[in-house]
Structure 1
Amino acid sequence: MFKSSRRDIVLQIGAVLMTGAISAVPEAAAKPNTAAAAGFRSDPVPRFNVLQASGRLDGVHGVVAMLGGDVVFERYFPGQDWAWGRDLGHVAFGPDTLHDLRSVTKSIVGLLYGIALADKRVPPIDDAILDHFPEYVDLRMDRNRSRITIRHALTMTLGMKWDESLPYTDPANSEIAMERATDRYRFILDRPILGQPGRGWIYSGGAVALIGKLIEKGTGQSLPDFAEKALFAPLGISGMEWARGSDGEASAASGLRLAPRSVARIGRMILSGGMWDNRSVLPKPWLDQSFQPAALVDIGWPGMHYGHLWYLGEALIHGTTGSYGEPFVAAFGNGGQRLFVFPSLDFVLSITTGNYDSPEQWRAPAAILSDVFLPSLTNE
């Protein structure tokens, strides 16, 4: 068994949710919603205001909560922002302002594969991945490498060396090295083999780049074009940007920019079993499959698991009669980008922040969830 590389930015949130730890906000750019308490057991607005007054949520840009299909809470705050490392200066965020999602992009790419698979435009997930990259004849001759499947990419269990624990300004970071490679797909598929595929989890933007390329190969469309037509347009999402590398390839790992309202809509579609406005956008069986923990995989924190490019866990609720875990599925991105979906609570929370590459970036989203919304939903 090989050891998983660990990405503190992503995984610390698991520890926070399992322990109920809290923290961090800046000055509000909008007044509290007058109907913010609708559907909650207790009003989240006073809790949010207390958290805001504490000054502990520095760097938050947007918060959108949906309950029972309705937007019940929405706040925006001005602040410094970047678009994939490009300085945007001081931004006055609002409902339509696009924001880097960073690795939340990965989870959305997982949804796109499910849409394309239902239309039989991409290969079954147990196909050998190199069978669909015939241009790399030499790599297909490697017996160990030829056993790697699309499922292994979807679950980040490729069994190949990949290290994103280094800063994203470091050329030795595997994602940065991929972006600078002459051929990003050869770079990914030619990584050293560390162990049997499916037996260990290594966080890998390269795995998602392969999924994105399979979508492009199968649909004959660029990844952004397919996403716009197959997912965003059916959800009524009109604003979108997708960053491309110097080679012109759309970054499947981290390049998507959406408004937090749009991200919340994606969460609501998930809660509705892939439906939106009485139309099937995404097959429910794909969602069910995506939210099952990958077998034999430990991602490094107790209680946290990984499905098909989605995190799976339980938020710890401290009740008067004891504590219990509330199941969620989630997408996490560098800087504090978050999408939480709580099926049994019929609740979606979308958060955007500008704390990119900070070791403390997990604190603000964790506080918003654990100090404001979970108590208001459970009345605990």
Structure 2
Amino acid sequence: MTVEPQYAALRDALRTEGSGVRSFVVVRDARTVFEHYRSGDAAPDALENINSVTKSVVALAVGIALGERRFASLDTPIAEIIAEARDPALDERVRRITLRHLLTMTSGFDWNQRAIDDCVLGACDRFAGDEDRESFVLSRPLAHAPGAQFLYDTHAVQLLSLAVEAVTGQTVAEYVGAKLFAPLGIDRFEWIADEAGHTFAGRGLELRPRDMAKLGTLMLDRGNWRGTQLIDAAFIDDALSVHSEGGPPMHDARYGYLWWIAPRYVFAAGFGEQFIFVAREQRIVAAATSDNDAAHKGVRALFEEHVLGAH
């Protein structure tokens, strides 16, 4: 596509030798105004591993289920939804953890985000034997009372997958595929499952960059997609409101419902600098994917300088 003049600097930055950015898509007022795919290993129709952007999609699954009255409210304790959470051997505070606590990363479990292992990344041998993932997640010690403190916890998000499955009778991948992706025209995606077949909620979704941008546009338009309300507008507003001051792995953004909130935009973020950006005032959405490693790519700076700064 022809690059509009205001995006020439962005194009040049992305073409820099050694850039770790694989794709970058910008949509303004529902029109794609910029696309970049790194020559040789990225393409518009290629699925990209979006890592923890997956969490933000799971939040939308909860919003859809809430709108369908499958959940009574976000303040419903997980013990009323997930059978494993009713185990009397658990800390009684665990039974008081609610959907809202899980959405805001304030469940209280003690976990170090830097303690990444194979079981955080996907199905693993440890949970294929006598110990199951659900019991492990629920039996971890609590560092804080539920609701008291933000602590980014990839393990805890899996409880939302169990909750959605419990009330819908479908895995999150099946439910999102039917209720969200199909109406958006997202006809290709991959999503890993855990050892018991439950959709992985902390990461593991693969999408095309253009489809990531569709999710951003849905957030921009408060859950409405081309005249159809897929998610209640009130839920989207609540999801993109500040519920905590946040913390690592993002040190300069606050937190909503599995979405990060910066001063001028909100965003979904995954390891390696996978992003969906939504700037509501400028009506701009951007999606970016990058090499799946810890190298610094400066994607947020590119968005702030060359996209927001161009308008």
Distance 2:14 2:80 in 1: 53
Match for 1:98 among 25, 30, 47? Answer: 47
Deviation of residue 302 (structure 1)? 6.3
2:6 corresponds to which letter in structure 1? D
Alignment of 1:74-93 (within 5 A): 74-78=35-39, 92-93=41-42
Aligned residues: 306
Alignment of 1:337-376 (within 5 A): 337-354=274-291, 356-358=292-294, 360-361=295-296, 363-376=297-310
Distance 1:346 1:110 in 2: 22
Match for 1:112 among 30, 52, 61? Answer: 61
> Is this contact kept in 2: 1:178–1:188, CA < 8 A?
no
Cα distance, 1:339–1:279 mapped onto 2, change above 3 Å: same
Query: RMSD across aligned C-alpha pairs, in angstroms?
Result: 2.1
> Is this contact kept in 2: 1:178–1:206, CA < 8 A?
no
Distance 2:144 2:14 in 1: 47
Match for 2:105 among 156, 166, 171? Answer: 156
2:247 corresponds to which letter in structure 1? I
**TM-score of the pair, normalised by structure 2:** 0.91
Deviation of residue 368 (structure 1)? 2.4
Cα distance, 1:140–1:122 mapped onto 2, change above 3 Å: farther
SS in 1 for 2:304: helix
Deviation of residue 265 (structure 1)? 0.5
- For 1:134-166, what per-residue CA distance to the aligned partner results, in whole angstroms no more than 9, with x for missing partners? 345434763322222111111110111112213
SS in 2 for 1:143: coil
Q: Gaps spanning 5+ residues in structure 1: where?
A: 1-32, 80-91, 315-326
SS in 1 for 2:184: coil
2:29 is matched with 68
2:213 is matched with 264
> Is this contact kept in 2: 1:122–1:219, CA < 8 A?
no
1:299 aligns with 2:247: yes
SS in 2 for 1:266: helix
Match for 1:175 among 103, 107, 120? Answer: 120
1:334 corresponds to which letter in structure 2? F
SS in 1 for 2:93: helix
Cα distance, 1:140–1:112 mapped onto 2, change above 3 Å: farther
SS in 2 for 1:43: helix
Moved more, 123-132 or 285-294: 123-132
Cα distance, 1:257–1:54 mapped onto 2, change above 3 Å: closer
1:51 aligns with 2:31: no
2:13 corresponds to which letter in structure 1? L
> Is this contact kept in 2: 1:129–1:148, CA < 8 A?
yes
1:323 is matched with none
Cα distance, 1:178–1:256 mapped onto 2, change above 3 Å: closer
Distance 1:313 1:371 in 2: 14
Cα distance, 1:43–1:137 mapped onto 2, change above 3 Å: closer
Deviation of residue 133 (structure 1)? 2.2
Q: Gaps spanning 5+ residues in structure 2: where?
A: none
> Is this contact kept in 2: 1:293–1:312, CA < 8 A?
yes
Cα distance, 1:298–1:231 mapped onto 2, change above 3 Å: closer
**TM-score of the pair, normalised by structure 1:** 0.75
Cα distance, 1:102–1:302 mapped onto 2, change above 3 Å: closer
Deviation of residue 54 (structure 1)? 4.1
Distance 1:102 1:306 in 2: 18
> Is this contact kept in 1: 2:122–2:192, CA < 8 A?
no
> Is this contact kept in 1: 2:121–2:203, CA < 8 A?
no
SS in 2 for 1:71: strand
Distance 2:187 2:121 in 1: 30
Q: Which has the larger radius of gyration?
A: 1
Instruction: Give the 4+ runs in structure 1 shifted more than 6 A.
Output: none
